[in-house]
Amino acid sequence: MSFHPNCSSINVTNLTECLLDTDHAILVTEAPAPNRQLVSDEMRQTLQLAIFSVFCGAVSLFGIGTNVLNIIVFIRQGFKDTMNINLLGLAIADLGCLLTLLGMSIGYNPYLIKTAVWFNLQDLIYFFDGWPHVCMTRVTSLITTFIAVERCLCIAIPLKVKTIITHSRTKGIIVGIFAIMVVVSLPFYYVNILIWTFDPEKNHTVLQLGFRSDRAIVEGIIFSISSVLMPFGSFLVVIICTVILIVKLNSKTKWRQKATSQFAGGSDTSVKEKKVIKMVTLISTIFIACNVPGIVTTVFMVFEPEFSVLGVYANMFFLSWSIAFALGGLNSAVNIFVYYTMSSKYKETMQNLLSCKKK
């Protein structure tokens, strides 16, 4: 989620016109009206540097390594199971999120910005990393939603799900999600361009961001889809599917426990299903928890016009989005622990991979 720095206030009618430049505006240093500020300018800059530049940079480096391992493991396991296709797509999307977040954490360092002479570093990072990061984040959300729906169907209609979600359809859906975001991104790069402009302070031309005249209309359409409809829709669907899945699994586990206790007295099936419940719940909980700050911040922007880039609550606005970006990176980086802990097949493949590298 991002917002244009020139937006002085945000309400329901002009929200979609501002949904772009948090990545770009996060570096704005002009302080708003001092009254009612909950966080001082000095504290905001210190926390923003620590959260966005240091923490996001460290998480990005770690997550890039873990997702490269995830991709290798899923490719080695093959794609007989549609879930491997989904998880490979998710790992690729997460890798894209973390690569762009790493670029943003480096480029948005205020000490590094001062060293840029012949170009506007903020504009270049925004152009090459800011919007691509938003797109990859949306891909991650959509693939996570599809995984939740597929798992929900596996429990609700186990006999029909294989005819509904086939290997070819799964591949088509995953590729289609990436393709949709590429199509959504094309208008952005039509209305936002890089141009050489004379900078009177530096007394020479610099490379910076320029805009076409129809930018507001085009971006209003793009961001109403990518920054409102997609994140809120994915968030709600994941919650609903997770609740349905947990209820279904719990009911079937209780029924099978009673049935098996009358005969063998064992509960192997129950134990396996409990592990599935735990894994699904953990994955969904991580996704939901890491997306809550961004959703809540967006809601605040709708109902409080001063909670914006240049409003009286600008410092809280910047900190809120810094935390949202950090948690988004964390969501993309920690899946390896879920897979390694919950999946014996993943754990075995990973151990074989690491042992081969040692030899």
- Are 317 and 355 in contact by the 8 Å Cβ rule? The answer is no
Give the tens place of pLDDT for each residue, 20-43: 444 444 334 444 444 456 777 778
DSSP track, 321-340: HHHHHHHHHHHHHSHHHHHH
Domains of the chain by start residue, with CATH: 15-29+38-354 (1.20.1070.10)
**69 confidence band (pLDDT: 50, 70, 90):** very high
Neighbours of 307 (CB within 10 A): 20
Q: State what percent of residues in the chain have pLDDT above 70.
A: 79
Q: What is the pLDDT of residue 271?
A: 61
Whether pLDDT at 286 is above 80: yes
Give the tens place of pLDDT for each residue, 200-255: 776 678 787 778 888 778 877 877 787 778 888 898 999 998 888 778 777 765 65
Q: What is the pLDDT of residue 43?
A: 81
Higher pLDDT, 304 or 117: 304
Residue 344 exposed, middle or buried by CB count within 10 Å (0-12, 13-18, 19+): exposed
On average, the pLDDT of the chain sits at: 78
Q: What is the pLDDT of residue 260?
A: 52
- Tokens representing residue 294 in the block: 């961004």
pTM tops 0.75, yes or no: yes
**Long-range contacts at 285-290 (CB < 8 A, ≥ 24 apart):** 286/331, 286/334, 286/335, 286/338, 287/141, 287/144, 287/238, 287/331, 288/235, 288/238, 288/239, 288/242, 289/327, 290/327, 290/328, 290/330, 290/331
Q: State what percent of residues in the chain have pLDDT above 90.
A: 23
Gap between the Cα atoms of 214 and 91, Å rounded: 36
- Tokens representing residue 38 in the block: 């909950």
